[in-house]
Amino acid sequence: MDKALDENDHIILHALSKDGRKRYRDIATQLKVSPQTISDRVKKLETQGVIQRFTIDIDPAKIHYQIEFICELDIDASHMEDIISILDGITEIHVIKITTGIHDILCIGNAASIDNLHDIVEKQISLIEGVNKTYTSITLRKVKQNQILNYGT
């Protein structure tokens, strides 16, 4: 059984969620420990699966995918795994979640144009066996989007 996270772990997670390239030396100075201690803790957090990956945050509009869309799906549950597998292969979709509530699956993605969005929804998602209905929305403006953790800090 893994030991529960302590306050220093939360501070490390908060710092890295704000800036994944933050130097361990800077975090170590804040916590008054050695950079090696920070490195060891980060490795432990990775081993425990708390830190799943380090990545970059890309602005899709800067690479000509200006339309963010949300597509909720009503499906036949017996096709769940096949549907998820096919959705995972649609390059414009970058989030797939199984949900509770009115709809079964929520997808978030980016399209290059309205025509591209139409093709994604009508010629790909809607034609998947077991997808009964789609509900698609377009993001008008992002108000908040971050993964900065404030738990325990």
- Assigned domain for 116 exists: yes
As a dihedral over the C-alpha atoms of residue 71, residue 84, residue 147, residue 110, rounded to 10 degrees, the angle is: -40
| pLDDT (tens digit per residue) in 20-45 | 889 999 999 999 999 999 999 999 99
- Assigned domain for 11 exists: yes
| pLDDT (tens digit per residue) in 2-26 | 468 888 998 999 888 888 889 999 9
Which 3 state secondary structure label does DSSP give 17? helix
| Chain length of the chain | 153
Q: Are strands 67-75 and 93-98 parallel, antiparallel or unpaired?
A: unpaired
Q: Per the structure, how many domains does the chain have?
A: 2
pTM assigned to the model: 0.74
- Assigned domain for 75 exists: yes
Which residues pair with residue 69 across a beta bridge?
A: 109, 138
Residue 153: band (very low, low, confident or very high) from pLDDT cuts 50, 70, 90 = very low
Residue 58: band (very low, low, confident or very high) from pLDDT cuts 50, 70, 90 = confident
In a shared domain, residues 88 and 127: yes
SS (H, E, C) 108-151: EEEECCHHHHHHHHHHHHCCCCCEEEEEEEECCCCCCCCCCCCC
- Return d(Cα 40, Cα 143) in angstroms, integer: 36
| Domain with 30 in it | 7-47
